[in-house]
A and B are shown apart, each in its own frame.
Chain A
Amino acid sequence: MTSAYGRLPRKEDARFVRGLGTFTDDVALPGMLHGAILRSPLAHARIISVDTTAAEAHPKVRVVITGAMLEQRQLAWMPTLSRDVQAVLATDKVRFQGQEVAFVVAEDPYAARDALELIDVEYEPLPVVADATRALDPDAPVIRDDLAGQRDNHIFDWSAGDQAATDAAFAAADVIVRQDMLYPRSHPAPLETCGTVADLDPVSGKLTVWCTSQAPHAHRTMYALLAGLPEHKIRIISPDIGGGFGNKVPIYPGYLCAVVGSMLTGKPVKWMEDRSENLMSTAFARDYHMHGEIAATRDGRILGLRAQVLADHGAFNGSAQPTKFPAGFFHIFTGSYDLRAAHCTVTGVYTNKAPGGVAYSCSFRIAEGVYLVERMVDLLAAELDLDPAELRMQNLLRPEQFPYTGPTGWEYDSGDYPRALRLALDMAGYDKLRAEQAEKRAQGEHMGIGLSFFTEGVGAGPRKHMDILGLSMNDGADLRVHPTGTAVLGISCQTQGQGHETTFAQLVAEELGLSPADVEVVHGDTDRTPFGLGTYGSRSTPVSGAAAVVAARKVRERARIVAAAMLEAAPEDLEWADGRWQVRGDPEQGRTIPEIAMAAHSGLDLPAGVDGHLDAGTVYNPPNLTYPYGAYICVIDLDPGTGEVRVRRFVAVDDCGVRINPMIVEGQLHGGLADGVGMALMQAITYDTDGNCLGGSFMDYLLPTSVECPSWELGETVTPCPHHPVGAKGVGESATVGSPAAVVNAVMDALRPFGVRHADMPLTPANVWSAMQGRPVRTDLSDS
């Protein structure tokens, strides 16, 4: 019996290559109306009046919804994923540029846009807080005066690790290196923007919402809690999704406005944001102002790590992470190293910028933690004049230390870090590269070699510790086996391109001795799938995939009882071998799942323990996160005349445990590496001091294309996860989390002859040029 795992072409592709995918904007219902949002041009202003008279008089406009109208229905504010509230449509003030002020429902999308121009809003501008470092100044205007008792822009203080032990480690150190660094605000920018079609059936009272949602079940529960609709009367359908990366986790005001629009008109209402709306108003990522300190002995033994972070959460705390972790999993910032002690503090603040925080493949802020430690290790190497690869090798956790409990409480499950780093160095030809670099430097040419080594904790998570809005981060799976032995698997997670229809079929097929072609995967429809929290944080395979395997194993155990009756043997005398149940010691006597399924549905006198079919379901509560890791090496060439950086090579060795479909794993790694190059070199959402967003289109928010990306060189090691049913770990975000530091370290390596120690991302030609001239690089405020 050959394994169902492997490089199986994707089931999804048949429709996509024909242009026959069904994305939310492809949904067209009879009588459907179209919504458009009027957004604030100002970052902070009091609303004096909203006059919709002229818009309502437009012949194609059906209704104009304002904050005041929503207030009458107690719908003007909605809960965020961080237990804050966010305005659906502004009533009192606008708090960031692009905030939602009014919603027009019209007969066609062009007319809806036209009518926006007819709405007259009078604003009284207020002072703006666009710089997080000024948000806590005593004279800073209070952005969230809607919150009772809120007298400043402070959201939370949070810390992790052992402060006293860290102080002791620093006191014992020969060398302490300190650095301020900004992980700039970024945006996931999936190619499909966010949108919805809301259809409230006035007769049945059933609300059907087609939506670009990464978490349809969580959305259903939130709609029920928010709008007071009974949950069984809500059906969320996430059709094909054109990329998510975290951007499509939250509920956005436009979704709710479309629902209200459908309530008011009795018609389906579609709302699709445009690209500027996507970039200016939906979940951003990063925006962490970090101060790092690393302590070591003179011979390069790392002793301790500290970080102080100022976290810019924008105008509403809409960050999406497990409730107990306001800074996400940032505190895994000790990375892959054997440190004595570490301590971090994170302070969250409001600013007059778009809300969000955790989005964009960051594994709940591990991206920020990895960047910090990997920059600090490189700075330490420079300080000690040690090779950064040697310094890493010297301090990496050793295989015999696993399972390893880190200084901030994480329990790393498995790993062989030195092996991954050695493989990456071999693949890159590291020594030759250093020799080439020395030769080039002698000739006045500048190349850089940068490393990063990352560890993530993904697959949230154990219900004891992890919930979102009180919902435990577990996932269900329902597996039905038809009489002829083909199967339908219902899952709660939601592909946005990850290929679940293929991978999850492989998981079930492997357990039941079926072909993946015989397993249909149903997802993205809350009426047809079991409850679960969706796809983000690299959690599909660790949680939902595990649920699918557990359900399949339950089916297999039921099949064992039926097979025993068929073979007139005791169940305990059967063994699962070659994809079927057979009598131990007599492999001629065996039954396949299709044979058993037909028997289970037949007139066979069924033994106790089965009831007429083989179907089974489960909810999976992971015992721990899974800990994928990797060693990355980036080689860049720097044009000293322009400051332009060209990525010549990128070697990525990843260990994500057992790979179910290596082709799909590699594809996700490729995409994440491109993200890392983008963030390091070109992507950033910046604001001017008036709070104007300067990254509001793809003209300004630059994403890497095929010519900025090298041909990725991938390597793998496999260290199975000890607690996942098939030994797999999450991988979807690994490369996005791990790669920016390698690129930045490579550029800083190239800039060493210029005396540059650190420059913040994005390392655009202008920023690199500034650094080369000894000028400060500031990417947070363009005109300061």
Chain B
Amino acid sequence: MQITVTVNGTGYTREVEARLLLIHFLRDELRLTGSHWGCDTSNCGACVVWLDGTPVKSCTVLAAMADGRQVRTVEGLARDTRLDPVQRGFAECHGLQCGFCTPGMMMTARWLLDHNPAPTAEEVREVLSGQLCRCTGYENIVRSVLWAAEHEGDQ
């Protein structure tokens, strides 16, 4: 089947199998490999991207379901060459080690800050609780998101 998906502002039209998962569409068809696949069961969140502005686990979304819709991935976080405060926060606060969960974590964090510009540490933990990190014990991820909230307006 033919689908047209807008990813990070660019429209892509592709012929795909109906069963193709969105994560594989992004990674294998569009070669946007920043989003990762980690579990198949919607537990780990390494594959989180935005679909029409809402974070989804793209391992359990069919590419066909994204037809005619807007997807935003980690590759679309920075504006031109300017990193998003969330990206800067993760680097600033050692919010990542192996870097595998990081794109998904950042996409959820960006969504949180868009809806709650000054979250508490508990609110950050709650919103990230559907995602797994095996390296950081979450402490510095929480700090990274709080750092980003504080530096949202920085130029």
Contact = CB atoms under 8 A, between A and B. Distances in A.
A19 B75 contact: yes
Contacts, number: 177
Interface string A647-682: 000000000000000011011111111110000000
A191 B141 CA distance: 16
B76 to A, nearest CB: 9
Given A16-B102, A17-B106, A703 B134 contact: yes
A26 B125 contact: no
A9 B83 CA distance: 16
B149 interface: no
A698 B90 contact: no
A17 B102 contact: yes
Interface stretch (A81-89, A238-246, A311-319): A238-246
Contact of A707 (B35, B40, B129): B129
B33 A667 contact: no
B100 A242 contact: yes
B98 A190 contact: yes
Interface in A1-42: 9-10, 12-23, 25-26, 28
Contacts of B43: 697-699
A189 B134 contact: yes
Interface string A454-491: 00000000000000000000000000000000000000
Contacts of B74: 18-19
A642 interface: no
A666 to B, nearest CB: 8
A16 B40 contact: no
A21 B99 contact: yes
Interface string A737-763: 000000000000000000000000000
Given A9-B91, A10-B91, A711-B121, A670 B136 contact: yes
B41 to A, nearest CB: 5
B40 to A, nearest CB: 5
Nearest to A245: B134
A19 B135 contact: no
Nearest to A661: B94
B92 A26 contact: no
- Chain B, interface SS category: loop
Max chain A CB contacts within 10 Å: which of B35, B87, B134?
A: B134
Point out which of B24, B46, B97, B137 has the most chain A C-beta atoms below 10 A from its C-beta: B137
B101 A671 contact: no
A242 B98 contact: yes
Contact of B40 (A190, A275, A498, A667): A275
A18 B75 contact: yes
Contacts of A189: 134
B137 A712 contact: yes
Interface in A393-412: none
B46 A110 contact: no
Contact of B34 (A18, A241, A671, A706): A18
Nearest to A15: B99
A51 interface: no
Contacts of B137: 669-675, 709, 712
A711 B125 CA distance: 10
A453 B57 CA distance: 40
B147 interface: no
A706 B92 contact: no
Nearest to B87: A17
B62 to A, nearest CB: 13
Contact of A497 (B17, B99, B129): B99
Interface string B77-100: 110000100011011101011111
A496 B100 CA distance: 10
Given A16-B102, A191-B134, A499 B97 contact: yes
B118 interface: no
Contact of B99 (A240, A671, A707): A240
A249 to B, nearest CB: 16
Contacts of A19: 32-35, 73-75, 77, 103
11 contacts: A10-B94, A17-B83, A17-B88, A17-B90, A19-B33, A28-B28, A110-B19, A191-B133, A245-B134, A497-B96, A707-B129
Q: What 4 A-B pairs come out closest when comparing CB atoms?
A: A19-B34, A497-B98, A242-B100, A16-B99
